[in-house]
Structure 1
Amino acid sequence: MPADGESEGLKLDRNMFWDVIDSTNAAGPYPDQETWRCRMTAALEKHTMEEILDWQLILEEYMQSACRQDILAAAAARGVPCLGDGFSQFRAWLIAGGEEVYRNVLEEPDCLADLPGNGDAFQFKGLTLAVYYAYEVQLFRNCPEELRDLYSDLRGRTLDAGILEDIRSGLPQRGDITDGWNERDLPTLFPRICSRGHTLPDRELVRQIKLNELFQSPDQVHAFVEQDGGRNSYLLHGTPQNIADFLADHDLADRVTLTDTSYELIMSVSGSVIDQCPDKKMQEEVTHALRSIQRGERPPGSIFSPTMAEMALWLQSEQEPGQGRMVQMM
């Protein structure tokens, strides 16, 4: 790897990121996604190792920015397979389509109605592979004796703060919907999609899609609610707003304890008092959101908070014969 200071001037910005995708798309059309992936790999091979690492980090930032409930709901309404890695592959497909396609969907998810084809076509499996293989080529050229790969070299690496701010400030500023949406909300949320005769997901499929998304979410929180001598366990997205809505919905509980997936304490609440919270910024944001509910300024939002038992049953049903994935649920 270059010594400190050698990579100055080599960091990609968002324009250079999209230029790689645009140049690949301009050389098409391609007969299949594998051909597109190979051309993308060839385009990335022209960049240095440092640039490829930054390209991957920018890709991850754009993938995360599209991980929104309104986009998930719109994709489900459009018939995109969202179980398994389906929603991730859909977001990769948005990015592979270029900046205009990506920005349009982030600005108004209902514009998926205007895209031709079935929902199955709105997925791309090879985008991350293109980056990985391009980095492998550069490793072979520059460090043939070293046992490394893209992901080992990404550990501890972050984007330049200015580049990250430029990416985020350049995205459409649209408020997300709550994760409590259901199949009955789709015609109101996405009138154009729903007016085109697409088969909408039923109640059970929506439940499975939301369980799948929550299970894969990096902000998943475990909630343990003690009330009247009993104890129930739930899962929810750990945004301050979601946590406040969950606490407001369980305001009669004796104690609510929130942990991350490693069971490290996030927050402990007794009655309406937050008595433990290592993250003071999180405590301030939850307190602010909770007070607005307690003052009657807004009602508690509808959130998706399945029990851990429900999640465990779903995971068991998703396991294929012969697979032994172990899932710990308290």
Structure 2
Amino acid sequence: MNAEQFWKLIESSRSGFDPDRIDGNMERQREELRRLLLRLPPEEILGFRNHLLERMATACHWDLWGAAYLIAGGCSDDGFTDFRSWLSSMGRGVFEAAMSDAESLVEAADAPGVEDVFFEEFQYVPAEAYEELTGQEPPEYAGPSPLEPAGERWNEDEGNLQRRFPRLWARYQQG
């Protein structure tokens, strides 16, 4: 599976997204992705899983953690993993915009129909589909899995979130 196919599957999984719903879009997307993956051979499901985990590794950046922290009013390390899962689930446009400028997430996080910025279940869909199709657990992922985020660390107590992310701070002001 290549990157184009990966992003196409993500977009297809969002095809029934309803901006008028205040909840249920995430569950609908999760189910649609599962349905789409079950149509693929097992090696393609693993390819999708690998692309997803690579995107999540790429998004392991202090700027994105700062954005998640401001948007949600706090964000643990586990929460940041779920945030990166959500970011990937939003599609290529949102993902690439956030990678270029974390403050672009002001629009994505507040878009109609977006119920949350933590989507833990999304990252598990490929493994669940693989197991459903093959009756076996998928092999371990051997790709990048950073222990520490890239970029310049921020500290909530030093006030640098306001300086680094003025648009996010203005929208989700902390205190």
Any conservation in 1 of the 2:83–2:118 contact (CA below 8 Å)?
A: yes
> 2:124 corresponds to which residue?
129
1:58 maps to 51
Contact 1:79/1:120 (8 A) holds in 2: no
Query: Structure 1: which 5+ runs fail to align?
Result: 1-11, 141-147, 160-175, 202-330
Q: Does 1:23 align with 2:18?
A: no
Other-structure match for 1:154: 140
Confirm whether residue 14 of structure 1 aligns to residue 3 of structure 2.
yes
**Alignment CA distance shift 1:195-1:28 (3 Å):** closer
Q: How far does residue 180 in structure 1 lie from its aligned partner after superposition?
A: 4.9
Equivalent residues in 2 for 1:82-161, closer than 5 Å: 82-83=75-76, 85-115=78-108, 116=110, 121-140=116-135, 148-150=136-138, 153-154=139-140
Unpaired runs of 5+ in structure 2?
145-149
With the length of structure 1 as denominator, give the TM-score of the two structures. Answer: 0.45
Greater helix share, structure number: 2
Give SS of 1:126's match. helix
What SS does the corresponding residue of 1:55 show, helix, strand or coil? helix
Q: Is the Cα contact below 8 Å between 1:78 and 1:200 reproduced in 2?
A: no
Query: 2:161, 2:169 within 8 Å by CA — same for their partners in 1?
Result: yes
CA distance in 2 between counterparts of 1:177 and 1:15 reads 27
Larger Rg: 1
Identity across matched positions, percent: 24
The answer for the alignment partner of 1:191 in structure 2 is 166
Q: Which residue pairs with 2:147 in the alignment? A: none
Tell whether 2:171 aligns with 1:178.
no
Q: 1:120 to 1:100 in 2, by over 3 A?
A: same
Decide whether aligned partners of structure 1 residues 49 and 72 sit closer, same or farther in structure 2, where only a CA change above 3 A counts.
same
Residues 36 and 80 (structure 1 numbering): CA distance in 2 closer, same or farther, change over 3 Å? Answer: farther
TM-score w.r.t. length of structure 2: 0.81
Q: Name the structure, 1 or 2, with higher relative contact order (CA <8 Å, separation 6+).
A: 2
**Residues 78, 128 of structure 1: alpha-carbon distance in 2 compared, 3 angstrom cutoff:** closer
The code of the aligned residue for 1:189 comes to R
Using the alignment, how far apart are the partners of 2:12 and 2:137 within structure 1? Answer: 25
Asked if the contact 1:52–1:131 (Cα under 8 Å) also holds between the matched residues in 2, the reply is yes
